[in-house]
Amino acid sequence: MINEIQKDAESRMQKSVESLHSTFGKIRTGRAHPSILESIRVEYYGSEMPLSQVANINVEDARTLAVVPWEKSMVPKVEKAIMMADLGLNPSSAGTVIRVPMPPLTEETRKGYIKQARAEAEHGRVAVRNIRRDANGEIKSLLKKKEISEDEERQAEDGIQKLTDRFIAEIDKSLEQKESDLMQV
């Protein structure tokens, strides 16, 4: 019973950390990376589709992405979708290839992105702590039902706390890495 609670808490904490990593991937660092365009949706025959499902996204060089729609008729729609995405990107098309240059980050935008990264990391920490609270609540309810002893309760809560500490340390390490990426010129 306790092992199930701990495994559930661990998997939920892992998902929180993975979610944070994907959020960090969307924060621009000045270098070209396909994940920057992940959130863009393009109208494709009457329905909204993720950009990655209507075009290939490649890194051309350190500061340029190349987007190649699978159908030539999609070039203007994809270009418009990238412009409308409010990412501060100005694509330019040359035939069937849309080039998306990454503008260099100013000191001010870097600080803004760092602030955003810190806020996202704090959301991740809060999510991990909420999972800890839920797991400890389940353990306490087992104690009330007299399904476990007080010693088992304490051991289980210690195990949950160790998990929490491990995942919060992982979040802090990811944040540190993202901050160093953002501060590189």
Could you tell me the residue ranges of all domains in the chain?
2-26+106-183, 34-101
How much is the pLDDT for 135? 93
H-state helical runs in 33-149: 75-84, 107-144
Superfamily per CATH, domain 2-26+106-183:
Ribosome-recycling factor (1.10.132.20)
pLDDT at position 122:
95
Closest CA to 175 of 30, 21, 16, 13: 21
pLDDT at residue 172 above 90?
yes
**Is it true that 2-26+106-183 and 34-101 share their CATH fold?**
no
Tell me the whole-structure pTM to 2 decimals: 0.72
**Which CATH number describes the domain made up of 34-101?**
3.30.1360.40
The average pLDDT across 40-61 equals: 86
Is the CB of residue 67 less than 8 Å from the CB of residue 56? yes
Mean pLDDT value of segment 85-96? 82
For residue 137, the model assigns a pLDDT of 93
pLDDT band, residue 185 (cuts 50/70/90): low
Mean pLDDT rounded to a whole number for the chain: 87
The dihedral of CA 37, 57, 83, 62: what is its sign? positive
Q: What is the pLDDT of residue 106?
A: 81
Residue range 5-20, pLDDT digits in tens: 999 999 999 999 999 9
Q: Which residue has the higher pLDDT, 154 or 83?
A: 154
